[in-house]
């Protein structure tokens, strides 16, 4: 991947120079800022990397539910997704092999507004777990990294 920001299919992240950890993010014609919170040595000039991860999951969940509800004529008025990320000790995890390890835990709470039946709510929960970002986060991910001069 070349170091350029004129392609719409890539994200370019670079140090902004505004603070020690502050990053400029260019996605097509969108320019965003990321930073670490004050507690982690940043200046809190923008969301943290984990905030962006949660944002990806939350927006994908909400959009997927909206598309499905529209397709199936489900009277969904509004979707709200609250998310929280934390590292928990593996001893808190019955499925974990190493009890000294920490695992990532994302709590996702979905609020659906509208005159929905129990069956519609159950189906929407099933669909939420099929959003593309949820599938990516719960599958094996392969990341390749290359250095350029």
Closest CA relative to residue 116, chosen from 131, 127, 129: 127
Give pLDDT tens digits for 100-109: 678 899 999 9
How many Å separate Cα 73 from the centre of its chain? 27
Instruction: Name the percent of the chain lying above pLDDT 90.
Output: 82
Three-class SS state of 32:
strand
Task: Quote the DSSP letter at residue 99.
Answer: T
Selecting from 2.40.50.140, 3.40.30.10, 3.30.420.10, 3.30.300.20, what CATH number does the domain 49-137 have? Answer: 3.30.300.20
> For the chain, what are the domain ranges?
1-47, 49-137
At 89 the pLDDT is: 76
Give pLDDT tens digits for 76-91: 999 999 999 998 876 6
Distance CA 146, CA 23 (A): 20
CB 64 within 8 A of CB 132: yes
């Amino acid at each position: 991947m070349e170091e350029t920001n004129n392609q719409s299919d890539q994200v370019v992240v670079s140090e902004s120079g505004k603070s020690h950890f502050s990053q400029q993010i260019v996605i097509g014609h969108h320019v965003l800022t990321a930073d670490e919170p004050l507690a982690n040595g940043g200046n809190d000039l923008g969301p943290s990397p984990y905030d962006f991860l949660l944002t990806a999951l939350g927006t994908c969940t909400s959009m997927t539910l909206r598309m499905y509800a529209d397709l199936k004529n489900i009277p969904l008025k509004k979707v709200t997704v609250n998310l929280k990320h934390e590292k928990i000790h593996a001893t808190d995890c019955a499925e974990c092999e190493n009890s000294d390890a920490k695992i990532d835990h994302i709590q996702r709470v979905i609020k659906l507004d509208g005159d929905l039946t129990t069956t519609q709510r159950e189906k929407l929960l099933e669909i939420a777990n099929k959003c593309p970002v949820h599938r990516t986060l719960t599958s094996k991910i392969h990341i390749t990294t290359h250095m350029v001069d």
